[in-house]
Chains A and B, each alone.
Chain A
Amino acid sequence: ILNVEQSPQSLHVQEGDSTNFTCSFPSSNFYALHWYRWETAKSPEALFVMTLNGDEKKKGRISATLNTKEGYSYLYIKGSQPEDSATYLCASEGSGKFYFGSGTKLNVKP
């Protein structure tokens, strides 16, 4: 079982603040790193998938980076909005399986 860690566990920010979270994962047996956004009572929604060291992905105000050599990925949210409030999960994919972190719960206050 791969140990995927996410920090912080929870985060409270004001509307308009920019924020970032960390996902760390073992570098061995690595194929891809996935980020998901999970709103309460809904299905987790895929945000990004990255495979190569140095990959950067962006979708609107949200972006992510990947460092496979040191085993971490950052997710950035610029100018947080209340609708960004959700739990953000990362998962390391290897050998056809997905190993999840416990998530970072983001609360954006208006």
Chain B
Amino acid sequence: GAVVSQHPSRVICKSGTSVKIECRSLDFQATTMFWYRQFPKQSLMLMATSNEGSKATYEQGVEKDKFLINHASLTLSTLTVTSAHPEDSSFYICSAVAGRGNEQFFGPGTRLTVL
């Protein structure tokens, strides 16, 4: 089956630093990748849709200057949390869609803790 990796799996950083999270499709080309955030006991909330070679589309309420998304190739999308603050502490998870299908393949997620 299709495999999506996400790195790092866990990160602890100081307030004010920037953190980059990578999402890679290992055995297929992903035309679209999604970034989600999940707070404890809540749903996966879509943050942005990332399409290769174009700007990401952000959901309402998500600051594009704070959550920088780069989809540089068909196998890699990155999410950079800039100037992280404790309220950014959350579980971030990406997914990738192959071709024109609508099936998502998820990464294992990244637990971000901002001190």
Contacts and interface: CB of A to CB of B under 8 A. Distances in A.
A43 B106 contact: yes
Interface of B: 4, 34, 36, 41-46, 49, 59-60, 93, 102-109
Contacts of B4: 43
Interface residues of A, number: 24
A43 B108 contact: yes
19 contacts: A1-B59, A4-B43, A31-B102, A32-B102, A34-B104, A36-B106, A42-B108, A43-B107, A43-B108, A45-B106, A49-B103, A89-B44, A91-B44, A93-B102, A98-B104, A99-B43, A99-B46, A102-B41, A102-B42
Contacts of A42: 108
B42 A97 contact: no
B113 to A, nearest CB: 16
A46 B103 contact: yes
A45 B103 CA distance: 10
Interface string A11-51: 00000000000000000000110101000011111100100
Interface of A: 1, 4, 31-32, 34, 36, 41-46, 49, 89, 91, 93, 96-103
B22 to A, nearest CB: 15
A49 B36 CA distance: 20
Nearest to A36: B106
Given A42-B108, A43-B4, A49 B44 contact: no
Given A45-B106, A98-B46, A99-B43, 8 more contacts: A1-B60, A32-B102, A41-B108, A43-B105, A44-B106, A100-B44, A102-B41, A102-B42
Nearest to B6: A43
B81 to A, nearest CB: 21
Contacts of A43: 4, 105-109
A89 B44 CA distance: 9
